[in-house]
């Protein structure tokens, strides 16, 4: 199969018939073999009834209804598990992503050999209260991840099938799929300017709080992807640095006291009377605790059933 399209949705009953007809028109015009997964993430309207009716009219459409609203990450991950097309394309259900972009996304993956292509909504039809926080969010993500994308949160993306089968999207991590793909070893990540259309039906399901949660998720994914398999490298390094800092300050205070008493004849203040002594003591205690946390984390990781989790690039005669 050429393409799997995954559409996570919540309360988008009005837009689904138009979206599915648009996707079918593009697919048929280019003679693609395809499947479309409509993932209903706990809709309160009649979205599921609409999906069931559309699936009867077009056998390429497949619907999955989640038991409740789990979030966009869960919906995408469900679609990734079921997808079989050699190119997987994700898009939103609100008609702001154009299916007309699919052929070029497909070409970039198949012919240009990209692992992932992320859409870039260069011209957005959103209020300034949404565009400014989005720019800040994208800047911080570029800074932390080192991936030079302008729009990490664009719902319109294309992947090689192996990419989506090699990552697990959970929580609110759908914003950071390019980051997860990079750390799974898929480094050919590109970007394509896509058309952003004004919302035709309903209203957005996301508020400003997503940017706060997004930054916290960025810290989480940065730590997890880099140090999940080697916690001692993170905690141990910090622990040693803190301990050496505290030990160095203590040694300096002891030397100063020794020099003043035996060489200068100045009694001076006791070491324990100086605030810096307690700062040094705290630093050594923190260093010891961080080192111990890294050691315990290393033991847990070593004994985990997923200790040797990795992605196989290819096989032959196996």
pLDDT confidence of residue 179: 87
pLDDT confidence of residue 307: 46
In the block, which residue shows the tokens 């004994």?
303
Percent of the chain with pLDDT over 90: 47
Q: Which two tokens stand for residue 1?
A: 């199969």
- 37-89 residue pLDDT tens: 999 999 999 999 999 999 999 999 999 999 888 889 899 999 999 999 999 99
Residue 253, C-beta contacts closer than 8 angstroms, at least 6 positions apart: 271, 274, 276, 277, 280
Q: Which two tokens stand for residue 274?
A: 């100086």
pLDDT confidence of residue 241: 94
Biggest alpha carbon–alpha carbon distance for the chain = 97
Taking phi first (over 0 means left), then psi (-120 to 50 degrees means alpha), and beta for anything else, what does residue 204 get? beta
Of 93, 90, 128, nearest to 201 by C-alpha is 93
Residues β-bridged to residue 301: none
CB 176 within 8 A of CB 225: no
Average pLDDT over residues 195-222: 65
Q: Which helix (H) or strand (E) holds 75?
A: helix 72-82
Distance of CA 201 to the CA centre of its chain: 28
**Pairwise pLDDT comparison (190 vs 147), residue with the higher score:** 190
3-state secondary structure of 74: helix
The full length of the chain comes to 318
141 — pLDDT class (breaks 50, 70, 90): confident
CB 318 within 8 A of CB 312: no
**Pairwise pLDDT comparison (212 vs 92), residue with the higher score:** 92
313 — pLDDT class (breaks 50, 70, 90): very low
């Amino acid at each position: 199969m050429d393409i799997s399209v995954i559409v996570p949705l919540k309360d988008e009953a009005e837009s689904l018939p138009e979206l599915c007809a648009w996707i079918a028109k593009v697919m048929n015009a280019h003679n693609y073999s395809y499947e479309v997964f409509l993932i209903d993430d706990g809709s309160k309207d009649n979205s599921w009834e609409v999906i069931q009716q559309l699936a009867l009219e077009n056998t390429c459409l497949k619907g999955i209804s989640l038991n409740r609203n789990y979030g966009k990450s869960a919906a995408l991950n469900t679609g990734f598990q079921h997808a079989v097309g050699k190119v997987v394309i994700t898009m939103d259900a609100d008609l702001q992503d154009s299916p007309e972009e699919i052929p070029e996304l497909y070409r970039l993956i198949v012919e240009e050999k990209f692992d992932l292509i992320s859409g870039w909504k260069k011209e957005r039809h959103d209020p300034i209260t949404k565009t400014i926080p989005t720019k800040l969010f994208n800047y911080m993500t570029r800074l932390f991840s080192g991936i030079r994308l302008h729009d990490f949160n664009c719902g319109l993306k294309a992947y090689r099938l192996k990419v989506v089968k090699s990552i697990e999207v959970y929580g609110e991590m759908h914003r950071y799929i390019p980051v997860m793909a990079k750390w799974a070893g898929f480094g050919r990540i590109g970007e394509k300017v896509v058309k952003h259309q004004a919302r035709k039906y309903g209203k957005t399901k996301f508020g400003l709080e997503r940017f706060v949660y997004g930054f916290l998720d960025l810290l989480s994914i940065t730590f997890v992807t880099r140090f999940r398999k080697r916690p001692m490298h993170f905690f141990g390094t910090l622990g040693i640095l803190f301990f050496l800092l505290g030990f160095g300050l203590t040694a300096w205070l002891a030397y100063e006291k020794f020099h003043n008493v035996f060489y200068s004849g100045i009694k001076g203040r006791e070491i324990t009377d100086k605030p810096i002594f307690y700062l040094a003591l705290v630093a050594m205690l923190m260093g010891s605790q961080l080192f111990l946390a890294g050691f315990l984390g290393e033991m847990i990781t070593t004994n985990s059933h997923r200790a040797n989790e990795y992605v196989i690039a290819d096989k032959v005669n196996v």
